[in-house]
Structure 1
Amino acid sequence: MLQNLLLFSGFAGITVFIGGLLANFFNHHIKETPVKYSIIHTIMSFGAGIILSAVSLVLIPKGLEELEVLPMTISFTLGVVIFLFIDRYLAKKGGKNATLLAMLMDFIPESIALGATFAIEPNMAILLAIFIGFQNLPEAFNSYRDIVASGFTAQKTLIIFFFLSFFGIGGALIGHYFLTDSPILTAHLMTFASGGILYLLINDIIPESKLKNNYLTSLGATFGFLIGVICEKLIG
């Protein structure tokens, strides 16, 4: 059981580093062209579709299953409000740390939920691990470019991303050892994360991924969501 938890949470986390490597390759080995710009934004929109599928197929259904309407509404609203204030703070602060913190805002609570559900609902946990992994890839891709543009070297940024990859394992272990027997608390955490993630998705990720007169970004988002639906059908 523990070995499988480490395996799937490790997969969910390592995509942070892989996303950084892909961004580094794009930055240094692909010339600046409209095609490159279109690919980058399509990757971002694909991630948005994956994130939306994670919220609608895994996180919210868990809240609906375990929580009454009022507690679920409170948790969801708290997620929206807290992520809103953090997002505004990061926007004012800007700089190197903001993009790192923004990426971790959804990664950590999702990883904790992954660990908490692994012993009770392994199929849901595996599905969540896949969602987190696919979600982290475009988020890390975008964050790497922002961090390097703010002044960090490519090598230093990749080292940071390598260590961030292990946050998924840490969060999953916390959830596994402290929340496995607390399905209500886990449902609150997942509903809270849903509110925050949806806020970030609508406020930041979707607008940034959109390109005028370019339909690839919309296709990226829809196919990202489809990947989530297929995973739910095969694993859920």
Structure 2
Amino acid sequence: MITELILYSGFAGITVICGGLLANLFNHHVKDSPVKYEVIHGLMSFGAGIILSALALVLIPKGMEELELFPIIISFSAGAIIFLLIDQNLDKKGGQTATLLAMMMDFVPESIALGAVFAVDPNTATLLAVFIGLQNLPEAFNSYRDLTLSGFTIKKTLLILLGLSFFGIIAALIGHFYFSKSPKLTAHLMTFASGGILYLLIRDIIPESKLENKFLPSLGACLGFLIGIIGEKLI
């Protein structure tokens, strides 16, 4: 059973490094052109749509199933405020890591949830692993771009993404052994993450994905959200 959980969470996480490698290939081996920038911004919006779908269809609903109104308000507000402070600190340092933070804010809680769900419903956990893996690919693609623009070397950026790939397995095991019997704690974690994700989306990610007089970014966001709907219906 544990071997299966490691395989599922490993699949969900391996798309992080795959997205980074794809971004490296695209950024450094494809000539600059208007089409290239449209694709980049389209993928940014696609990732934003998937992140938003994770928030709206997985994290918030699962949190609301377990928590009363006041705990939801506290956890969600805490997530938003803490990531506002983190974002302000990064702004002072000139960093561009919003997409990476947003990816971690949904990848880690969902991986913990994957481990917790696997203990009681392996079939749902399998579909959740696929859903998380689909999310991680465009998010990692955009995170690679953000990190390299912030001054990280290609090697360091890929090592960060590789580490995150394996961290999903650790998070799933933590969820399986420690959170499967604490649904309220898992719900608090998901709601906290939702506040941080929504702040980062509105503050940093969505404005960065805009291209003047172009439709592809908006369409990409819709497609990303649609994939989230499909994943949720399958689950």
TM-score past 0.5 threshold: yes
| Further displaced range: 114-123 or 90-99 | 90-99
Q: 1:36 aligns to what? A: 36
Change (3 A) 1:102 1:190: closer
Matched letter for residue 190 of structure 1: M
- How far 1:64 moved relative to its partner? 1.6
Aligned sequence identity (%): 71
User: Pairwise mapping of residues 176-215 of structure 1 onto structure 2 (< 5 A)?
Assistant: 176-215=176-215
Match of 1:58 in 2: 58
- Partner residue of 2:143? 143
Can you list the C-alpha shifts for 1:148-169, whole angstroms capped at 9, x where unaligned?
A: 3444442343233222210111
d(CA) in 2 for partners of 1:58, 1:100? 19
Deviations 1:136-187 (A, max 9, x none): 2222212222333444442343233222210111111111111110011111
| 2:90–2:96 CA contact under 8 A, matched in 1 | no
**1:183–1:98 CA distance, 2 compared to 1 (3 A):** closer
The structure-2 alpha-carbon separation of the partners of 1:96 and 1:205, relative to structure 1 and needing over 3 Å to count, comes to: closer
**Partners of 2:34 and 2:133 in 1: how far apart?**
28
Q: What residue is the counterpart of 1:117 in the other structure?
A: 117
Distance of 2:224 and 2:189 partners within structure 1: 24
> Residues 204 and 225 (structure 1 numbering): CA distance in 2 closer, same or farther, change over 3 Å?
same
**How far apart, in 1, do the equivalents of 2:53 and 2:100 lie?**
23
Higher alpha-carbon deviation: 211-220 or 102-111 = 102-111
Equivalence for 1:81: 81
What is aligned with 1:163?
Answer: 163
SS in 2 for 1:214: coil
The residue identity in structure 2 corresponding to 1:144 is Y
Relative distance call for 1:101 and 1:48 in structure 2 (3 A) is closer
Structure 2, unaligned stretches of length 5 or more?
A: none
Report the count of equivalent residues: 235
3-state SS, counterpart of residue 165 of structure 1: helix
Q: How far apart are 1:129 and its partner, in Å? A: 3.0
Deviation at 1:101, TM superposition (A): 5.4
**Structure 2 vs 1, CA of residues 80 and 153 (structure 1 numbering), >3 Å: closer, same or farther?**
closer
Distance change in 2, residues 1:90/1:228 (3 Å):
same
Give the conservation status (yes or no) of the 8 Å contact 1:114–1:172: yes
Residue identity matched to 2:193: A
Describe the shift of the 1:116–1:91 C-alpha distance in structure 2 as closer, same or farther (beyond 3 A).
farther
Instruction: Give TM-score, length-normalised by structure 2.
Output: 0.90
The CA deviation at 1:113 is 2.7
SS across alignment from 1:207: helix
In 1, the alpha carbon distance for the partners of 2:159 and 2:179 equals: 31
Deviations 1:179-209 (A, max 9, x none): 1100111111111111111111111111111
Output the amino acid matched with 1:165: S
Contact 1:60/1:190, CA 8 A, preserved across alignment: yes
